[in-house]
Amino acid sequence: MKSIFTFLALIFCIGFMSVQAMDIYVSPNGRDSGSGSQSNPLYSLDDAIDLANAGDRIYMRGGTYRYSSTIKILKSGRSGSVISVLAYNGEVPVLNFSSMSENDSNRGIVLDGDYWHFKNIIIEEAGDNGMLLSGSNNVLEGCIFRANHDTGLQISRFSSSDNSISQWPSNNLILDCEAYDNRDSRNEDADGFAAKLTVGVGNVFRNCVSHHNIDDGWDLYAKPETGPIGIITLEGCIAHNNGILTGGGSSGGGDKNGFKLGGSGIKINHIVRRCIAYNNGKHGFTDNSNIGSIEFTNCTSYNNKEYNFHTRDGASHIFKNNLSYRSTSNDRLRGDTSAPNVFDNKDSWPYSVGSSDFVTLTPGPDNNPTSNGFLSLAANSDLINAGVRSSGIKYNGSAPDLGALEYGGTTSPDPDPETYKLTLQASPSTGGSISVSPNKSDYENGESVTLTATANSGYTFVGWSGAISGSANTASVTMTSDKTITATFESADNGGGGEPETTVRIEDTHSSAQGLCDYDGSLKNYDNADNGSAINLSNSADKSIVWKVNAAPSGQYTLTWRYTNGGNSAHTQAIVAHNGQPVRDLTFPKTKDKETFVTISTTISLNEGVNELSLTTAENGEFADIDWIEVTGPGASFANCSAKNSESVVVENATDLFRISAEDYRMAGYATVAGDGYQTTTGGAGGSVVVISSLKELEDWASSREKETAPQIAYLSGKISSSKSTVVTIKHGANISILGLGDGAELENVGLNIRNYDNVIVRNLKIHEVFYPNDALTIDECSHVWVDHLELHSKIGPGIGVDTYDGLLDIKKGSRFVTVSWCYIHDHMKTSLIGHTNNSGQKEQDRQMRITYHHNYFYNTYGRNPSLRYGAIHMYNNYFDKISDYGLAARVGAHALVENNHYNDVDISMTTDKFPVSGLPNGYICQLGNLLTGDTGAPIISQTGCDWWNLPYEYQMESASTLARALPSQVGVGKIDISINSNAVIANVESHKDVVMSAAGFEVENNYPNPFSVKTSIQFHLDEDEPVSLIVYDMMGNEVYKLEHKDCSRGLNEITFHRGNLPAGIYTYILSTPRNAAKKRLSIVR
């Protein structure tokens, strides 16, 4: 039985696991080697960000942090579980980037992730923006952006490939922030705040102050090349004294406006409410050629150098309740000014304004200039209650006042509030209920709602999904849009072990891959349907909907439909069929009306595997419209509609329940993922062929492959053994396959060490009884490796100590894009080590490790099944039997995702806590769908890290309950056909002769220093004058640096590579000439 998943399909389940938020501490007195605890804080905010996951809090202690490179934030939190960067307990952290030169790329922080919250952080003296905000759904609160060499805070895209408004930063809130003294060397480009050029929808500035910046207070510029930006909302913001610095320096070519609201004649309907502009060097508010329909409501503009309000011909702006006083020029207004306003121009208005209308015209402090009554209306002013009601404006009294500051505060309700709907649902619908407080049909913007989930008898509450997440029964949501929230329940009884009961819901909008196969009708729109629609069958008998689901074991499953049946002539009878055979007549009672949805359930028997379900109308006429079907039972899951239906079978012996077809032995997991210059793992495909049948041939071949990248396939034939422990090392090259011929290829007391070799495949080979100190198979500093259908073992029992043999399969030193599949691993003490040391100096390299273990059979082993440090492993569909110590151990910050594995008689199935290291975090294990039987110890997991995962590949999983019967017969040697193509040209294995390179040959030396923090030198020899190119790739295969056609001379040459703004990590570089190329690695450290 199989089911096809992408990882995103699993997030629904994973999100319900309880994740304990972590507090990480950063201090000016911290250390890069710190653990991030309060007593042992970090210094680097970068390091803290690397540690943080959704829901975590980074606390910054007060003082100055002097950082020299851009802090790039690429990871994300999630809705309801943001990652926070917070000033600790009222202290004042200052992030100082003064060592940066002025350069477009030298931003202080690039926030390209989503769901972050920065609060009370000061960012100063960056070489460009203090912060570039390019992610979405973030909150910046109480932050200060000062003395940066371009705009203090700019909202724009980070990646130039994001070309549509849907990809641009959206739904960010900038709250109570301040920007000042931002100045570029030309005195003309640095604004306080900018949201320009490439900005998405839903961005809001609220109660922010921008003053004494060399250019504008706010800049919302747009240009034809990128087109319109999203509507920006400005509420309660103040712009003053822009065009001059606090120290008196003045602007050169800067615009000096308070609020610059567009550009290039592009129409964008921004919203400006209760904002104030005063003492700016040019205009207070200007549309800057944005001839759209900007809303100016309850704004005050005072004493600006030119115009208080300046708008252009052709605009259709809306002016309500605004106040203008003491401008040099009469206000220039284009649009609808019919509502009450008081402007500084020659028009006749029912109101006039003078100094006596104000409490004072002397500003308070720069960061809060109205705190002393500045521009507040005096008690006797006739501008009080003189305005008109307007959406989004609260007020005190009979009507809004004119101007930004409401006399007596804004306490009355908004007459036309924005409202949103909250949709709640339980899954399964029989699992429990949700109470809501307050319980209303519509909620105002910003209103908080409390939800409580209560499980029915026989069920337990698992967690929330949709607009919120978490596993606490009581949760709250803030209404800022229409929201849908689901409470998920599961059966409290798992039947004494075996598959856990799950619920799969197939929506009316699902695809055939998600179990919706066919229906005789169309989708009909409903406001109250889950996805806004339901299936409307044609109005006659024998019209059907067909679904397919997987069942883990055969047995009783509950089917539940959500439907509406409110038509006047609605018919109620239907036939439920299983695999084409009718099993139940079912009545769908009429509902109150066509908008009311209810559920109905029935129970039927399903076979293990794929089951086809159908619902067929039994009579002519209008039938119920179906929103979704839920199937609840052990291991229920989606099935692809192309999958063959399972039949009921009687098994005489439980040894051959099913056979996974050979095509399912194809490569999967991380080895398939593009990165480091490779699109996938191909090994020696397309290369020459050698056949190896002796130890000398194997050693000679390995020697010949050093520094060799031409693809080659090495077939191992028969048994190769050694009387003493031997390791054959294959190093410093790429593109090989090592394949065992037939079912008899084996290495006895001969291990393989694959070191600094990329694009490697090892299949169908037995390696056994390799005595200490050598491993059976070691993978060091490699990228793109597939290990498949190996048998790895030694002996275990009396007289065998923990160091009689070393590792069976060790993967170390930053190896990544590695898959280990369909291997038989048995009778060994130290089974599989991933990451060889806790030393923090190895952290930077080993945290790059990305490994997949799937469909492996571990039998009669002791520990390390596997043991993981720093990196990440995805384990699914492995079978662990008779493990006398522990299965998986995740250590020192490593992450493991463990799905649908079977643990039988395993002392400790999995643990994050077995190997604690002082000053370092334990590991993380996110586990689901695993089966624990026999004398197996429960998982010992203190932190899950489920939200860390976002797998870059699709994969296939079986139910854990099938593995014990299926895997043992399908793993190891002889299960795949490895033979030599009859057309292959067999090359001779020749002994490798060392070549001393001189000026007469092409040779690239290892770069020095390596690792490095600022720059490194790459030396190389050429045998003639020719151009050289250098390309550097990051670990995901993205090109990050390119130097083309540098003319070089015969002999020794050198290129100095500067790190620039590249983050710490491992990189691959290719240095090439028209005739030669060499590939190597470099490592950047902080």
Band (21; pLDDT cuts 50, 70, 90): low
H-helix or E-strand containing 261? none
The two three-digit tokens of residue 1033, written as one number: 């790739």
Q: Are 56 and 22 in contact (CB under 8 A)?
A: yes
Which residue has 């003491």 as its token pair? 326
Interior CA angle at 807 toward 802 and 812, to 5°? 135
pLDDT at position 10 is 31
Residue 12's pLDDT band (boundaries 50, 70, 90)?
Answer: very low
Length of the chain: 1086
All residues at 6 or more sequence positions from 994 whose CB lies less than 8 Å from its CB, including other chains: none
Query: Residue 541: exposed, middle, or buried by beta-carbon count in 10 A (0-12, 13-18, 19+)?
Result: middle
Hey, what domains does the chain have and what are their CATH numbers? 22-128 (no CATH), 136-141+157-350 (2.160.20.10), 422-638 (2.60.120.260), 683-771+976-994 (no CATH), 791-972 (2.160.20.10), 1003-1084 (2.60.40.1930)
Mean pLDDT of 391-409: 90
State both tokens at 858: 């571990």
Cα separation of 323 and 209, whole Å? 19
CA contacts within 13 A on the Cβ side of 88: 16
- Alpha-carbon distance of 931 to 959, in angstroms, equals 9
Q: What is the DSSP string of 492-544?
A: S--SSSSSPEEEEEEETT--GGGTEEEESEEEEE-TTSTTSEEEEE-SSTT-E
- Reply yes or no on whether the pLDDT at 998 is more than 60: no
Does residue 858 register a pLDDT over 90?
Answer: yes
Q: E strands along 428-482, which residues?
A: 432-437, 443-444, 448-455, 459-466, 474-478
> Over 70: is that where the pLDDT of 990 sits?
no
Residue 262 above 80 pLDDT?
yes
- Quote the DSSP letter at residue 670: G
In the DSSP assignment, the letter for residue 624 is P
Rounded average pLDDT over 887-893: 93
What is the reported pLDDT for 653? 22
Distance, in Å, from the CA atom of 9 to the CA atom of 1, rounded to the nearest integer, reads: 18
Distance CA 880, CA 870 (A): 23
Say if residues 236 and 271 touch (Cβ distance below 8 Å).
Answer: no
* CB 461, CB 455: distance < 8 Å: yes
Region 698-713: mean pLDDT is 90
3-state helix, strand, coil in the chain (%, to 5): 5, 40, 50
Q: 810-857: per-residue pLDDT in tens? A: 999 899 999 999 999 999 888 999 998 888 778 888 888 999 999 999
Percentage, residues of the chain above pLDDT 70: 90
Q: Distance between alpha carbon 924 and the CA centroid of its chain, in Å? A: 17
Distance CA 243, CA 366 (A): 15
DSSP string, 977-1016: -----TTPPEEPP---------TTS-EEPPPBSSSBSSEE
Q: Is the predicted pLDDT of residue 493 greater than 50, yes or no?
A: no
- The CB density around residue 388, as the number of other CB atoms within 10 Å, is 16
Q: Would you list the DSSP string of 710-769?
A: S-EEEEE-SEEEEEEEEEEEEEEEEEEEEEE-TT--EEEEEEEEEEEEEEEEEES-EEE-
The pLDDT, as a whole number, for residue 500 is: 59
Interatomic CA distance for residues 229 and 223, integer angstroms: 9
The pLDDT value given to residue 18: 33
Dihedral over alpha carbons 535, 539, 543, 549 (to 10 degrees)? 20
Amino acid letter, residue 968: P
pLDDT grade for 881, boundaries at 50, 70 and 90? very high
Task: State the pLDDT confidence band at 553, using cuts at 50, 70 and 90.
Answer: confident
Look over the chain and give the mean of its residue pLDDT values, rounded to a whole number.
85
Residue 550 has pLDDT above 90, yes or no: no
Other C-beta atoms within 10 Å of 24: how many? 27
Cβ density class 288-326: b for 16+ within 10 Å, e for less: bbbbbebbbbbbbbbbbbbbbbbbbeebebbbbbbbbbe
CA dist list (Å): 378 to 274, 300, 327, 381: 17, 15, 20, 5
pLDDT tens, 424-470? 888 777 778 888 888 887 887 777 788 888 888 777 787 777 777 66
Q: What is the pLDDT of residue 118?
A: 96
3-state SS, residue 13: helix
Which pLDDT score is estimated for 570?
60
pLDDT of residue 908 exceeding 90, the answer is yes
Q: Residue 471: its pLDDT value, please? A: 67
**Does residue 992 surpass a pLDDT of 60?**
no
Mean pLDDT of 331-336: 90
- Indicate the DSSP class of residue 93: E
pLDDT tens for residues 950-981? 899 988 888 888 888 889 989 999 888 787 76
Average pLDDT of 619-644?
A: 85
Please, what is the end-to-end C-alpha distance for the chain in angstroms? 49
* pLDDT tens digits along 1040-1085: 888 877 788 888 888 888 877 787 777 778 888 887 878 787 777 6
- Whose tokens are 């008898």? That residue is 457
The span from the CA of 722 to the CA of 750, in Å, is: 6
| Lowest-confidence region among 178-187, 371-380, 1012-1021 | 1012-1021
Which pLDDT belongs to residue 825? Answer: 96
Annotated active-site residue 260? The verdict is yes
Q: Residue for token digits 């491992």?
A: 1066
In whole angstroms, what is the distance from residue 976 CA to residue 974 CA?
A: 6
Which region holds residue 842: left if phi is over 0, alpha if psi is between -120 and 50, else beta? Answer: alpha
| CB 966 within 8 Å of CB 1 | no
**161: Cβ–Cβ under 8 A, 6 or more apart, which residues?**
none
For the ranges 551-560, 725-734, 777-786, 943-952, which has the lowest average pLDDT? 551-560
pLDDT band at 408 (very low <50, low <70, confident <90, very high): confident
pLDDT value of residue 469: 66
Query: Counting beta carbons within 10 angstroms of the beta carbon of residue 151, is it exposed (0 to 12), middle (13 to 18) or buried (19 or more)?
Result: buried
Question: Count of CB atoms within 10 A of residue 261's CB?
Answer: 27
Q: Which residue has the higher pLDDT, 79 or 175?
A: 175
Strands 501-507 and 122-124 come out as unpaired
Output the CA torsion 971→977→980→982 (10° steps).
180
On the CB side of 543, how many CA atoms lie within 13 Å of its CA? 21
CB 183 within 8 A of CB 195: no
- Residue 499 CA to residue 900 CA, distance in Å, equals 10
With cut-offs at 50, 70 and 90, classify the pLDDT of residue 492.
Answer: low
Per-residue three-class SS string for 824-866? EEEEEEECEEECCCCCHHHHHHHCCCEEEEECCEEEEEEECCC
Q: How far apart are CA 423 and CA 426, in angstroms?
A: 11
CA-based R_g, the chain, Å: 34
Task: Report pLDDT digits (tens) over 575-604.
Answer: 888 887 777 778 888 887 888 888 888 878
Q: Among 455, 562, 467, 466, which residue's Cα sits nearest to residue 508?
A: 562
Dihedral sign (CA 730, 736, 737, 740): negative
Phi, psi of 647 (to 5 degrees): -115, 155
pLDDT of residue 675: 86
Give the H/E segment covering residue 11: helix 11-14
Three-state DSSP string of 930-978? CEEECCCCCCECCCCCHHHCCCCCEEEEECHHHHHHHHHHCCCCCCCCC
Q: pTM higher than 0.85, yes or no?
A: no
- Considering the candidates 2, 260, 320, 914, report the single residue annotated as catalytic: 260
- pLDDT given for residue 1036 in this prediction: 59
Are 627 and 508 within 8 A, CB to CB?
Answer: yes
Q: What's the CA gap between 185 and 905, in Å, rounded?
A: 70
Residue with token string 């500093």: 781
